[in-house]
Structure 1
Amino acid sequence: MLRRYGKAAFVLNIPRGGTVLDVGCGNASACYIKGLRPDIHYVGVDIGDYHQTDDSKSLMDEYIVSSPQRFSETIARQGDRFDAVISNHNLEHCNDQEGTLRAMASVLKDGGRMYLAFPSEATRGFPSRMGTLNFYDDDTHQAMPRWAQVMSILRGAGLSVDVAARRYRPPLFFIAGALMEPWSSRRRRIDRWGASWAFWGFESVIWARRT
């Protein structure tokens, strides 16, 4: 596994036949997750059809669309039925980050796990590049998630933290990013495989568990 604590590794560790809530399920996320794990029961929730396809919609066992204002409430209403919750670069787009975190924690079963990835606080000082390297390159980003606050909310909601990478730098991708950095800097754009993100430590990654 090239990214030991990446999204794919998390998905592959979900119990067989598990029920999964994908929070912010745009960009045809269901195709990726069900491609890895066709056995899971997939529930997607979002505030609209963000780059969904006919294939991605057909792969969802449940698809929930909410307003931005009621997003955390919509999540919380699902009840504690999930073996896993995935929030992959969704938190930074939320109007109510604290409410969304608490809602995601509340729907986990005992022993259920959460995957969180969001931009590191350090990204405020990164250079601006096409594809997003500086937090403010993406004008759909809301407030910057605060690492200490996120950790405090998760623990306060009864979750223990198994993985806490404030600036996640998987080694092979870091090396690839270092080799590609002259090209990336010259073209003012990042690659599409995540090497630039790994080199700079763009992502904060957390795996948490309801004990």
Structure 2
Amino acid sequence: MNEKKEIRDNNAAEYDYKKHDKKDHCKKHDTDHDKKHDKKCEKDHDKKEKKKHGSKLVEFAYQTFDPITPLSLPLNFPLSTQPQVVATATLKNVEKGNVVWLNGLYHVNNNSPEFADLITRIYRGNISPANLIYQSIVEIDAEGNDDATESVTQFVDVIKADGKDVTYFLTAQKGQFSEDLNVFAYGPITFTAAEIKQED
């Protein structure tokens, strides 16, 4: 009698253990499932946030010249101490709050025995001091050194009011102390204007 009872008790204990083990397994399964679900939710949320705070190109304008440079550098674009238009880009419609990403590239050659100052500018609307939005000044080495180089420009213009046919001018000129020096601009020349809408 005792022996049979003991066997039943052992079986009961074994049964309870299995039941307990199964219950723990279910809890672990639920926990793992919750973690996977949370990670998926986080990824979906991140994707939505990225999409929500993204941006898109709404208009693009550009101008290019002389994409292939001849072996003998051209000297047909001498620079003066006044702004000379290298390239232009016109956007048909710009909206307040958008930004315009401007990129300019041209090359320059200094055929003088001393270094020259090169001034690169971007104007919006027309060429006047009030419409100057970007300016850089670099030194070009004297002839025989690094006298042939490129000028690279990047700028972001924030649109403060709606406008139509907004033209950007990329200009080049010598510095005031380089007036008597022989400095030339040449291609490849590229100027781009990309209007970008930032989505809330």
TM-score past 0.5 threshold: no
User: Taking structure 1 as the reference length, what is the TM-score of the superposition?
Assistant: 0.20
User: Taking structure 2 as the reference length, what is the TM-score of the superposition?
Assistant: 0.21
The structure carrying a bigger strand percent of its residues is 2
The structure carrying a bigger helix percent of its residues is 1
